[in-house]
Amino acid sequence: MELGLSIALLVFSALLMLLVLMHKGKGGGLSDMFGGGMQSSVGGSSVAERNLDRITIVVGIIWFAIIVALGIMMKSS
């Protein structure tokens, strides 16, 4: 069980990184420093951005739950 959760944690960590990197830069931060503040025609619609936000939140919650479960399992063993 612990091995399965560890593998799931790796998968969800990589997925969460990819999802966060897919978001548009809001400006005023590190994204401006690396050219993310420039307007691009690649940006999606607001519906796509909202769906990406929802997916990112769900994956983040699952990622957090896996970490808590692994912590409880390691503490009890």
- Domain locations in the chain? 2-22+44-76
Of 67, 51, 64, give the one whose Cα is nearest residue 19.
51
Radius of gyration of the chain (CA): 16
Taking a C-beta distance cutoff of 8 angstroms, is the pair 12, 61 a contact? no
The predicted-structure confidence for 45-62, as pLDDT tens digits, reads as follows: 688 888 999 999 999 999
pLDDT of residue 48: 86
pTM for this entry: 0.75
Of 67, 75, 69, 70, give the one whose Cα is nearest residue 12.
67
